[in-house]
């Protein structure tokens, strides 16, 4: 984060190196951030070398040093070229770059950004741990790390050299050096966040990816706590050495706190410095040996060349590309006078291929004896961890070559994916084809990539496997009687308690038990027996519950559908489930006759004639119910759940809700939704009262609120969109509020959770009998997790068949008691279910949910979204779930969905109250999402509507008839309003208005009077540097509510050209609304 004066000195247009004219598009260091330069920096380096070893970059207003000798001068003359170059937090705050200011405090404590004597103090404390003898003593540890990492690769076949090998080397070593074994996954997250931070602030004084801030805060907190534990200890790890060097016993409490913060900040450097660097060094080295087979043969023949080979890898294709220094006194460099206060960017990658220093610099020669590479810096700031990185990389490369005499990379640019960090280049994925292991028979089968976890150890395997302790336990199934048997036992215990209460009728447990017995006998006479499916389509009330119980007591399986279920869908459900009978009420029977259903239909009429149920022979393995969920092909999926599944559903819910005879549960969820079954099982097997209300009284809004209060409801499960749309009402009886079926946003929790009211988040796909995990929400839940496994449920977050470490996304897979099965869909069974290799009992299955989740450090599950919601916008692949998660964090948002239409991202939102503050929302999103991820259009809707299952129905407004409310921005801001395409005069007026506004932003960021800015004025020629460019970037996106690319500020850098870019980003059907009065320019 360098700053330079805003004058126009020292930026010549003619350069000394061959007379080429500086061209910011060709030579500006902003190009370091471009994806094509990260992937292949050599063409860009050649362009830089056109301007000689030192030149001035007018765009970023820094001097750029590409020559080897000149770079050595900068790196070794510490008094003249200072590492303490950070911009002050006060200036960053004044320019609206507060997030960057927040991290400056941490960076200022790190040895990377210190000069002597402060730098020397930290480095001396570490010197012994990085000495040659100490590194050699750790050789056996590094050998073991490499062996474990190699064991994760197949003997032959396809693999990813990054995920399956190279990325698994650094964190075990760093954890061991810090004395933090077992926390490798956390260290990996910290390291990646730190590299992301450096990649951002090294180009702009801003934090482009705001997600790194909480991760680094976690890192600092954890490392400070670890340091505090070492205040009185005698451990010999790096963390202890740093603590002891600060002489904590001579400090007061505040001094100790400051010391521990500095120790933590420097441990972040050690973690981050090794992660990307070592991964890149090993993966790139193996790619180079694949590309230069003669060099590979030479190393196999002479392994002692490995040290020279590692040096050559670092020279030719190092990870670290550049670093910066601040000039403290006017000096000469490369024939140019550089003023005090200016900054110099040393391009290490260019210096390492300087043709003045290296013969044939772009060739790979492991016997090269010329100058040492600068990839690890030089002088006082030479990378302190270099000895470990070089030795571990050498071991890894040699052991890999020993194991694999034959391998080849897929170097198709489409196959390789590079990480986003410009200053620490590293591949994110690199497919590799592995030949046979030496000594393996040619006809032997390749090692399976889908065996159990124990067969596939990898780096991070220990910490990934550690998450299995959170996966849940299965207590057993000896007491799993069919659920209706448990109900009859409950009726015997409290026969006179009210079981069901409708608007005009109530039944006691004895009455409900006997009436359902009577109906069960009638169903037996119709041929209902175990595995017979009976559909129940009727208004919800006492007869509805009788019908559900009667089907179970007759031995059959019920399938529920709301009376409003579309008849074509209902007919499809009856056919798919092979229902033999439909139970309904008198009002619906008439409609069914008109519809001409092929399935026999019976009107339910009950009487309490039988004290006991018929004997059927049904057991816990028989099907209890069938439920339908939507299918991606449009064909609903039929899922069968056993009696064991229903009994376990109750046991899980009972452990969560802990209801009793005095509780009153509102049956709100639609029969189309398996949550309706949860309501029935939980209430009737707990001895509570199940309350029904007419449909009109369940309408979301005041009617539902009045029902909850009037009927004295103590517990209810509803979808988050319903809770969001429910006006806040004093509900003194409501003690348990639960949300299920959708992602839960924190504003809903804050609205409804109370001092005497629990708020629960329930998660469970239909295939897992509606209950998998749960979480009791607290005040600190900014993004409520879905929690921990429910009773007798096992959950795994997997990448393929392997558990992922804490914080890493994977697919949620569910096992345990009572999983369902697909009816008539063997293809889906094969696709979505697989053997559970994590338990000893054979025959157990897990269900692949398709939901993306990750473990949090506290052992709770965080729901990310569906795995199949990716779209591509302007060449960027975007996860809609990620965008929705960030939008949902805005205080005003109660619910939202994001979708792609006409090549743009659009969003439907429900706000907590009032009108959407779109300008504020865009300001909120701008620092949190990349520009292509910010929706072009925000549409406020009053209610999402409901799907057939009672969940939010998020569709494009024009297609679904959602109630749409227009949004307005704060006074004095530009707003886009729906309108027909404007005529020529209006178009010209819009352009003039936008150009005027952009000119104002130029003047604001450059601290210039407005009259200095013309429509054709170049921002960088007026004095724009990296600091003012970052400010302009944020202001344009926030002011105009668009998602302009950063590169546009480099390529289109005048008000009139930027105006074209801004207007082009408007949706085609929209235009800028003319103001009521014209502003004279």
Residue 377 pLDDT exceeds 50: yes
**Residue 784, CA atoms < 13 Å, CB-side half-sphere:** 27
- Between strands 845-855 and 833-835, the pairing is antiparallel
What confidence score (pLDDT) does residue 925 get?
87
Nearest Cα to 169, choosing from 456, 388, 432?
Answer: 388
Q: What is the pLDDT of residues 117-149, one digit of tens each?
A: 554 555 565 666 667 778 888 888 899 999 989
How confident is residue 903, by pLDDT bands cut at 50, 70 and 90? low
What's the rounded Cα separation, in Å, for the pair 807 and 790? 21
Nearest Cα to 1045, choosing from 847, 828, 873?
Answer: 873
Token reading at 898: 């994001």
Q: What is the pLDDT of residues 7-56, one digit of tens each?
A: 333 344 444 444 568 887 788 888 887 888 888 899 899 999 999 999 99
Token reading at 668: 């709100």
Please tell me which of 441-445, 958-962, 1031-1035 the model is most confident about, judged by mean pLDDT: 1031-1035
| pTM for this entry | 0.48
Q: Where along the chain do the CATH 1.10.630.10 domains lie? A: 24-434
Does 1002 or 156 have the greater pLDDT score? 1002
What confidence score (pLDDT) does residue 982 get?
38
Q: Is 43 helix (H, G, I), strand (E, B) or coil?
A: helix
How confident is residue 1048, by pLDDT bands cut at 50, 70 and 90? low
- DSSP3 helix / strand / coil % (the chain, rounded to 5): 40, 20, 40
Question: Which residue blocks in 609-691 are alpha helix, DSSP H?
Answer: 643-657, 675-686
Measured in whole angstroms, the distance separating CA 887 from the mean position of its chain's CA atoms is 13
Cα end-to-end distance, the chain, whole Å: 35
Beta-carbon contacts of residue 489 (< 8 Å; ≥ 6 apart)? none
Q: DSSP secondary structure string, 859-878? A: S-EEEEEETT-EEEETTEEE
What's the rounded Cα separation, in Å, for the pair 536 and 947? 19
Residue 991 pLDDT exceeds 70: yes
Q: What is the mean pLDDT of residues 75-98?
A: 64
Fold held by 976-1072: 1.10.1200
What's the rounded Cα separation, in Å, for the pair 667 and 673? 12
Q: What is the mean pLDDT of residues 1073-1077?
A: 31
Residue 479 pLDDT exceeds 60: no
Main-chain phi, psi angles of 136, to 5 degrees? -65, -35
Beta-carbon contacts of residue 891 (< 8 Å; ≥ 6 apart)? 747, 912
CATH number of 24-434: 1.10.630.10
What's the rounded Cα separation, in Å, for the pair 173 and 921? 43
Measured in whole angstroms, the distance separating CA 989 from the mean position of its chain's CA atoms is 42
Beta-carbon contacts of residue 373 (< 8 Å; ≥ 6 apart)? 311, 312, 314, 315, 318, 352
What confidence score (pLDDT) does residue 382 get?
66
Q: Is 579 helix (H, G, I), strand (E, B) or coil?
A: coil
Cβ pair 1065, 1052 in contact under 8 A? no
Beta-carbon contacts of residue 683 (< 8 Å; ≥ 6 apart)? 659, 663, 665, 667, 689, 690
Could you count the other beta carbons within 10 Å of the beta carbon of residue 345? 23
Residue 113 pLDDT exceeds 60: no
Q: In what order do the strands lie in the sheet with 581-584?
A: 601-603, 581-584, 533-537, 557-561, 623-629, 637-642, 821-822
Measured in whole angstroms, the distance separating CA 702 from the mean position of its chain's CA atoms is 36
**Which of the residue ranges 143-147, 376-380, 560-564, 1064-1068 would you say has the lowest mean pLDDT?**
1064-1068
Does 598 or 356 have the greater pLDDT score? 356
Cβ pair 993, 1072 in contact under 8 A? yes
* Radius of gyration from C-alpha coordinates of the chain: 33
What's the rounded Cα separation, in Å, for the pair 175 and 1029? 39
CATH number of 483-692: 3.40.50.12780
What confidence score (pLDDT) does residue 69 get?
94
Q: Where along the chain do the CATH 3.40.50.12780 domains lie? A: 483-692
Residue 631 pLDDT exceeds 60: no
> What CA–CA distances, in Å, run from 271 to 209, 227, 689, 757, 854?
19, 15, 57, 43, 22
How confident is residue 1013, by pLDDT bands cut at 50, 70 and 90? confident
Token reading at 540: 């919800």
What confidence score (pLDDT) does residue 288 get?
95
Token reading at 406: 């034959």
Report whether the peptide linkage leading into residue 117 is cis, meaning its omega lies within 30 degrees of zero.
Answer: yes
> How large a percentage of the chain has pLDDT more than 70?
79
What's the rounded Cα separation, in Å, for the pair 445 and 52? 56
What's the rounded Cα separation, in Å, for the pair 980 and 156? 62
Report the interhelical angle of 98-108 vs 212-229 (nearest 10°).
30
Does 466 or 740 have the greater pLDDT score? 740
Nearest Cα to 142, choosing from 173, 166, 188?
Answer: 173
Kindly report the three-state secondary structure assignment for every residue of 10-53: CCCCECCCCCCECCHHHHCHHHHHCHHHHHCCHHHHHHHHCCCC
How confident is residue 833, by pLDDT bands cut at 50, 70 and 90? very high
Fold held by 873-965: GMP Synthetase; Chain A, domain 3 (3.30.300)
What confidence score (pLDDT) does residue 462 get?
56
Q: Where along the chain do the CATH 1.10.1200.10 domains lie? A: 976-1072
> What CA–CA distances, in Å, run from 1041 to 22, 921, 936, 938?
34, 9, 8, 10
What pairs with residue 946 in β-bridges?
952
Helix (H) or strand (E) holding 998: helix 984-1006
Q: Where along the chain do the CATH 3.30.300.30 domains lie? A: 873-965
Q: What is the pLDDT of residues 736-758, one digit of tens each?
A: 999 998 889 888 999 999 878 99
How confident is residue 966, by pLDDT bands cut at 50, 70 and 90? very low
Nearest Cα to 970, choosing from 931, 921, 1034?
Answer: 921
- Between strands 322-327 and 343-347, the pairing is antiparallel
Could you count the other beta carbons within 10 Å of the beta carbon of residue 473? 12
What average pLDDT does the structure give for the chain?
A: 80
What's the rounded Cα separation, in Å, for the pair 899 and 883? 10
What confidence score (pLDDT) does residue 506 get?
96
Q: What is the mean pLDDT of residues 563-591?
A: 87
Beta strands in 974-1026 (DSSP E): 976-978
Q: DSSP secondary structure string, 50-105? A: TT-SEEEETTTTEEEE--HHHHHHHHH-TTTEES--PPPHHHHHHTT-HHHHHHHH
Could you count the other beta carbons within 10 Å of the beta carbon of residue 25? 12
- Burial class (CB within 10 angstroms; exposed 0-12, middle 13-18, buried 19+) of 196: buried
Question: Which residue blocks in 179-237 are alpha helix, DSSP H?
Answer: 184-201, 212-229
Measured in whole angstroms, the distance separating CA 810 from the mean position of its chain's CA atoms is 10
Beta-carbon contacts of residue 816 (< 8 Å; ≥ 6 apart)? 472, 474, 648, 768, 789, 792, 793, 794
**Residue 22, CA atoms < 13 Å, CB-side half-sphere:** 22
Token reading at 26: 């060709």
Q: What is the pLDDT of residues 391-423, one digit of tens each?
A: 999 999 999 999 999 999 976 766 788 877 777
Please tell me which of 34-38, 41-45, 461-465, 590-594 the model is most confident about, judged by mean pLDDT: 41-45
Tokens 């001409």, residue located? 596
Cβ pair 810, 467 in contact under 8 A? no
What confidence score (pLDDT) does residue 391 get?
92
Measured in whole angstroms, the distance separating CA 747 from the mean position of its chain's CA atoms is 20
How confident is residue 449, by pLDDT bands cut at 50, 70 and 90? very low
Residue 974 pLDDT exceeds 50: no
What confidence score (pLDDT) does residue 602 get?
93
Q: How many residues does the chain have?
A: 1081
Q: What is the mean pLDDT of residues 871-890?
A: 74
What confidence score (pLDDT) does residue 461 get?
53
What's the rounded Cα separation, in Å, for the pair 547 and 517? 10
Please tell me which of 123-137, 549-563, 689-703 the model is most confident about, judged by mean pLDDT: 549-563
Question: Which residue blocks in 873-971 are alpha helix, DSSP H?
Answer: 880-888, 918-925, 957-960
How confident is residue 110, by pLDDT bands cut at 50, 70 and 90? low
**Which of the residue ranges 24-28, 605-609, 964-968, 1072-1076 would you say has the lowest mean pLDDT?**
1072-1076
> How large a percentage of the chain has pLDDT more than 90?
39
What's the rounded Cα separation, in Å, for the pair 709 and 732? 8
What confidence score (pLDDT) does residue 1066 get?
54
How confident is residue 346, by pLDDT bands cut at 50, 70 and 90? very high
């Amino acid at each position: 984060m360098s700053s330079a004066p805003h004058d126009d000195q020292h930026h010549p247009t003619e350069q000394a190196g061959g007379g080429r004219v500086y061209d910011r598009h060709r030579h500006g260091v902003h190009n370091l951030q471009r994806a094509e330069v990260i992937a292949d920096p050599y063409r860009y380096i050649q362009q830089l070398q056109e301007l000689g070893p030192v030149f001035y970059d007018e765009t970023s207003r820094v001097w750029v040093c590409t020559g080897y000798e000149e770079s050595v001068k900068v790196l070794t003359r510490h008094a003249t070229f200072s590492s303490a170059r950070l911009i002050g937090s006060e200036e960053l705050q004044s320019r609206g770059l507060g997030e960057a200011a927040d991290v400056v405090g941490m960076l200022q404590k790190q040895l990377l950004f210190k000069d002597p004597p402060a730098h020397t103090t930290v480095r001396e404390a570490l010197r012994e741990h990085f000495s040659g003898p100490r590194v050699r003593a750790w050789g056996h540890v590094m050998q073991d790390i490499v062996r474990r990492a190699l064991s994760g690769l197949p003997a032959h076949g396809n693999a990813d050299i990054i995920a399956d090998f190279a990325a698994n080397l650094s964190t075990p070593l760093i954890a061991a050096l810090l004395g933090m074994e077992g926390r490798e996954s956390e260290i990996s997250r910290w390291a990646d966040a730190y590299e992301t931070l450096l990649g951002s602030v090294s180009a702009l004084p801003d934090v482009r990816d705001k997600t790194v801030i909480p991760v680094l805060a976690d890192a600092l907190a954890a490392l400070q706590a670890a340091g505090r534990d070492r205040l009185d200890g005698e451990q010999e790890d790096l963390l202890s050495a740093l603590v002891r060097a600060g002489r904590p016993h001579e400090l007061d409490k505040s001094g100790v706190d400051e010391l521990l913060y500095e120790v933590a900040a420097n441990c972040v450097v050690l973690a981050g410095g090794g992660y990307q660097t070592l991964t890149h060094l090993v993966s790139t080295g193996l790619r180079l040996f694949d590309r230069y087979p003669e060099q590979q043969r030479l190393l196999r023949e002479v392994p002692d060349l490995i040290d020279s080979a590692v040096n050559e890898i670092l020279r030719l294709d190092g990870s670290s590309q550049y670093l910066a220094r601040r000039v403290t006194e006017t000096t000469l460099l490369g024939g140019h006078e550089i003023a005090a206060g200016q900054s110099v960017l040393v391009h290490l990658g260019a210096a390492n291929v300087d043709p003045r220093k290296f013969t044939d610099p772009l060739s790979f020669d492991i016997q090269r004896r010329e100058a040492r590479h600068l990839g690890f810096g030089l002088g006082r700031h030479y990378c302190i961890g270099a000895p470990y990185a070089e030795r571990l990389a050498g071991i890894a490369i040699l052991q890999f070559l020993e194991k694999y005499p034959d391998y080849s990379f897929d170097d198709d640019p489409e196959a390789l994916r590079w990480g986003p960090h410009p200053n620490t280049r590293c591949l994110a994925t690199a497919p590799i084809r592995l030949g046979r292991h030496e000594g393996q028979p040619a006809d032997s089968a390749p090692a399976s990539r889908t065996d159990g976890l124990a067969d596939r150890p990898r780096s991070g395997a220990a910490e990934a496997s550690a998450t299995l302790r959170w996966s849940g336990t299965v207590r057993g199934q000896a007491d799993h009687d069919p659920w209706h048997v448990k109900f009859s036992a409950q009726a015997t215990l409290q026969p006179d308690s009210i079981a069901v209460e409708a608007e005009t009728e109530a039944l006691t447990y004895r009455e409900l038990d006997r009436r359902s017995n009577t109906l069960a006998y009638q169903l037996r006479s119709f041929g209902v027996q175990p595995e017979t499916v009976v559909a129940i389509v009727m208004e919800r009330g006492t007869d509805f519950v009788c019908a559900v119980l009667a089907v179970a007591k007759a031995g059959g399986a019920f399938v529920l559908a709301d009376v409003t279920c579309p008849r074509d869908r209902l007919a499809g459900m009856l056919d798919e489930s092979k229902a033999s009978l439909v139970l309904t009420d008198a009002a619906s029977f008439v409609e069914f006759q008109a519809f001409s259903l092929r399935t026999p239909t019976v009107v339910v009429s009950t009487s309490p004639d039988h004290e006991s149920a018929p004997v059927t022979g049904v057991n816990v393995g028989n099907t209890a119910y069938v439920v339908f969920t939507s299918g991606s092909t449009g064909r609903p999926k039929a899922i069968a759940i056993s009696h064991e599944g229903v009994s376990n559903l109750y046991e899980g819910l009972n452990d969560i809700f802990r209801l009793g005879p005095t509780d009153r549960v509102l049956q709100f969820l639609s029969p189309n939704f398996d949550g309706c079954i949860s309501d029935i099982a939980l209430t009737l097997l707990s001895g509570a009262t199940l309350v029904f209300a007419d449909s009109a009284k369940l309408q979301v809004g005041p009617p539902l609120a009045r029902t909850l209060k009037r009927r004295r409801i103590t517990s209810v499960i509803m979808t988050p969109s319903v809770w969001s749309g429910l006006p806040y009402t004093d509900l003194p009886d409501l003690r348990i509020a639960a949300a299920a079926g959708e992602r839960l946003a924190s504003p809903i929790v804050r609205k409804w959770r109370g001092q005497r009211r629990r708020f629960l988040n329930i998660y469970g796909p239909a295939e897992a009998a509606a209950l998998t995990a749960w979480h009791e929400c607290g005040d600190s839940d900014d993004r409520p997790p879905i929690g921990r496994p429910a009773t007798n449920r096992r959950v795994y977050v997997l990448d393929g068949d392997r558990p992922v470490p804490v914080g890493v996304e994977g697919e949620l897979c569910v096992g345990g008691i009572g999983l369902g099965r697909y009816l008539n869909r063997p293809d889906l069974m094969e696709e979505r279910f697989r053997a559970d290799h994590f338990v000893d009992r054979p025959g157990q299955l897990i269900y692949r949910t398709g939901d993306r989740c990750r473990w949090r450090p506290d052992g709770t599950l965080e729901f990310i979204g569906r795995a199949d919601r990716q779209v591509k916008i302007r060449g960027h692949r975007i996860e809609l779930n990620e965008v929705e998660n960030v939008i949902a964090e805005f205080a005003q948002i109660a619910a939202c969905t994001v979708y792609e239409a006409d090549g743009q991202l659009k969003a439907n939102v429900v706000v907590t109250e009032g009108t959407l503050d779109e300008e504020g929302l865009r300001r909120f999103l701008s620092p949190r999402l990349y520009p292509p991820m910010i929706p072009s259009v925000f549409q406020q809707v009053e209610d999402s509507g409901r799907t057939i299952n009672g969940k939010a129905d998020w569709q494009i407004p024009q297609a679904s008839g959602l109630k749409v409310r227009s949004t307005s921005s704060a006074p004095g801001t530009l707003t886009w309003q729906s309108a027909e395409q404007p005529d020529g005069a209006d178009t010209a007026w819009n352009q003039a208005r936008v150009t005027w506004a952009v000119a104002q932003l130029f003047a604001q960021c450059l601290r210039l009077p407005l009259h200095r800015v013309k429509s054709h004025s170049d921002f960088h020629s007026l004095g724009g540097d990296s600091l003012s460019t970052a400010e302009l970037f944020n202001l344009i996106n926030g002011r105009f509510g668009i998602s302009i690319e950063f590169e546009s500020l480099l390529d289109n850098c005048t008000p009139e050209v930027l105006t074209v870019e801004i207007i082009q980003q408007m949706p085609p059907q929209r235009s800028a609304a003319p103001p009521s009065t014209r502003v004279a320019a």
